[in-house]
């Protein structure tokens, strides 16, 4: 898989210092608690005060790659605590970067959280966890995390996914494949644009609230104004319910996504911004260490108000009883 040309945006030292200092200021009154109820209230003003340098670095994804890496945020490994063994054990670990991610996410759009995922936190910890090695969730390690749209089952899913790297000692790659790079016959695009199959909630979610109706069939591809977008999560799609013709087209899309996939190896301080409507992402397999030095990412999800990259029919989906909570409502 090529590690090629991932668009890189350098955060100049002044912008990086400004972000870090704004994050410190946000955290100061809370003594490191990463989810104080009032902290979010101060984020919009703090984000609005950030310089044009930060704002420019966070401009929308502007290539068919559907992603970019922001580089330049300092991470001092010595001042970080050991990598938590599970998201639920993270507490205020790396809280400074939670605040940095909230600030950046607020420049990008509106951060969202899920009541049923990682206790409703706006910034998730992605760490390998004992007993979860073989899952299709961010807690896995020994298996390929297959390419997926984040939270594909839900109409309120993020437009942008932000992954900030705190540790990655074994240079484990995140994978990304853009639908704007695939080559498909028009007949396949047409077939995959029909709502044929549902996408079920992934294993990272707690049991949902009750909801009415069965799983809604959704299209895999959609022709948005500025090009094709996708909603793709084969691990949670009951493909055996589709016609042979549909399955074959889905398989050709999967093959094309594999062909155009790039490996993005994040280094500490790198922040990967993925357009969740253009790009599916995953992770290569690795052996977890479980000694406090493991790979550690922080993740936030962002909605971009007014974006028109999805079929209007999505708005009537029930989302399987999971609620997406927007910050600053
Ligand atoms: O570990 C990674 O690089 C990506 C994991 C993932 O799919 C996610 O955090 O949404
Ligand atoms: Fe993911």
User: How much distance in Å is there from the Cα of 135 to the middle of ligand 2?
Assistant: 12
Q: What's the pLDDT score for residue 40? A: 80
- State the closest ligand 1 atom to the C-alpha of 266, by its place in the atom list counted from 1: 3
Q: What is the 3-state secondary structure (H, E, C) of the chain?
A: CCCCCCCEEECCHHHHHHHHHHHHHHHHHHCCCCCCCCHHHHHHHHHHCCCHHHHHHCCCCCCCCCEEEEECCCCCHHHCCCCCCCHHHCCCCCHHHHHHHHHHHHHHCEEEEECCCHHHCCEEEECCCCCCCCCCCCCCCCCCEEEECCCCCCCCCCCEEEEEEEECCCCCCEEEEEHHHCCCCHHHHHHHCCCCECCCCCCCCCCCCCCCCCCCCECCEEEECCEEEECCCHHHCCHHHCCHHHHHHHHHHHHHHHHHCEEECCCCCCEEEEECCCEEEEECCCCCCCCCCCCEEEEEEEECCCCCCCCHHHHHCCHHHCCEEECCC
User: How much distance in Å is there from the Cα of 151 to the middle of ligand 2?
Assistant: 8
User: How much distance in Å is there from the Cα of 282 to the middle of ligand 2?
Assistant: 6
How do beta strands 160-167 and 271-275 pair?
Answer: antiparallel
Q: Which token pair is 83?
A: 């990598």
What ipTM does the predicted assembly reach? 0.98
Q: For residues 167 and 175, give the distance between their C-alpha atoms in angstroms, rounded to a whole number.
A: 17
Q: What's the pLDDT score for residue 121? A: 93
Q: What's the pLDDT score for residue 30? A: 74
Q: For residues 247 and 285, give the distance between their C-alpha atoms in angstroms, rounded to a whole number.
A: 26
- State the closest ligand 1 atom to the C-alpha of 161, by its place in the atom list counted from 1: 10
- State the closest ligand 1 atom to the C-alpha of 148, by its place in the atom list counted from 1: 7
- Closest to 309 (Cα-Cα) out of 272, 279, 283: 279
Contact present, 7 and 63 (Cβ < 8 Å) = yes
User: How much distance in Å is there from the Cα of 282 to the middle of ligand 1?
Assistant: 6
How do beta strands 67-71 and 8-10 pair?
Answer: parallel
Domains parsed from the chain with CATH numbers: 8-326 (3.60.130.10)
Q: Is 295 in the pocket of ligand 1 (CB under 6 A)?
A: no
What's the pLDDT tens digit per position in 154-183? 999 999 999 999 999 999 999 999 999 999
Q: Is 147 in the pocket of ligand 1 (CB under 6 A)?
A: no
Q: What's the pLDDT score for residue 1? A: 59
Query: How does pLDDT run along the chain (329 residues), one tens digit per residue?
Result: 555 579 999 999 999 999 999 999 998 887 656 565 556 889 999 999 999 999 999 999 999 999 999 999 999 999 999 999 999 999 989 999 999 999 999 999 999 999 889 999 999 999 999 999 999 899 999 999 999 999 999 999 999 999 999 999 999 999 999 999 999 999 999 999 999 999 998 877 777 666 777 899 999 999 999 999 999 999 999 999 999 999 999 999 999 999 999 999 999 999 999 999 999 999 999 999 999 999 999 999 999 999 999 999 999 999 998 888 888 86
Total residue count of the chain as it appears in this document: 329
pTM attached to this predicted model: 0.95
What's the pLDDT tens digit per position in 259-312? 999 999 999 999 999 999 999 999 999 999 999 999 999 999 999 999 999 999
Collect all residues with Cβ–Cβ distance below 8 Å to 195 and sequence separation of at least 6: 216, 217, 218, 219, 313
- State the closest ligand 1 atom to the C-alpha of 163, by its place in the atom list counted from 1: 9
Q: Is 299 in the pocket of ligand 1 (CB under 6 A)?
A: yes
Neighbours of ion ligand 2 (CB under 5 A): 150
Q: For residues 279 and 110, give the distance between their C-alpha atoms in angstroms, rounded to a whole number.
A: 19
Q: What's the pLDDT score for residue 96? A: 94
């Amino acid at each position: 898989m090529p590690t090629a040309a991932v668009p890189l945006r350098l955060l100049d030292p002044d912008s990086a210092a400004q972000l870090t200092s704004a994050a410190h200021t946000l955290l100061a009154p809370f003594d490191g608690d990463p989810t104080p109820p009032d902290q979010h209230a101060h984020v919009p003003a703090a984000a609005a005060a950030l310089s044009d340098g930060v704002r420019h670095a966070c401009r929308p994804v502007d290539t068919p790659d559907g992603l970019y890496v922001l580089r330049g945020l300092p991470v001092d490994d010595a001042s970080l605590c050991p990598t938590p063994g599970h998201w639920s054990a993270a507490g205020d670990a790396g809280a400074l970067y939670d605040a940095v991610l909230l600030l950046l996410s607020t420049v990008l759009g509106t951060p969202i959280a899920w009541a049923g995922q990682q206790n409703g936190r706006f910034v998730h910890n992605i760490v390998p966890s004992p007993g979860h090695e073989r899952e299709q969730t961010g807690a896995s390690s020994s298996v390929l995390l297959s390419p997926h749209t984040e939270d594909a089952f839900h109409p309120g899913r993020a437009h942008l996914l932000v992954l900030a790297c705190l540790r990655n000692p074994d240079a484990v790659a995140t994978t990304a494949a853009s639908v704007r790079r695939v080559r498909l016959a028009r007949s396949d695009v047409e077939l995959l644009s029909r709502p044929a199959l549902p996408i079920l909630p992934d294993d990272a979610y707690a049991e949902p609230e009750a909801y009415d109706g069965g799983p809604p069939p959704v299209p895999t591809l959609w022709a948005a104004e500025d090009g094709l977008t996708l909603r793709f999560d084969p691990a949670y799609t009951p493909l055996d319910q589709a016609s042979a013709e549909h399955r074959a087209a889905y398989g050709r899309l999967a093959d094309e996504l594999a062909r155009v996939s790039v490996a993005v190896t994040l280094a500490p301080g790198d922040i990967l911004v993925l357009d969740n409507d253009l790009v599916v992402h995953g992770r290569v397999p690795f052996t977890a260490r479980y000694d406090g030095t493991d790979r550690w990412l922080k993740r936030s999800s962002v909605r971009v108000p007014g974006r028109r990259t999805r079929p209007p029919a999505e708005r009537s989906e029930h989302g399987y009883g999971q609620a997406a909570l927007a910050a600053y409502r």
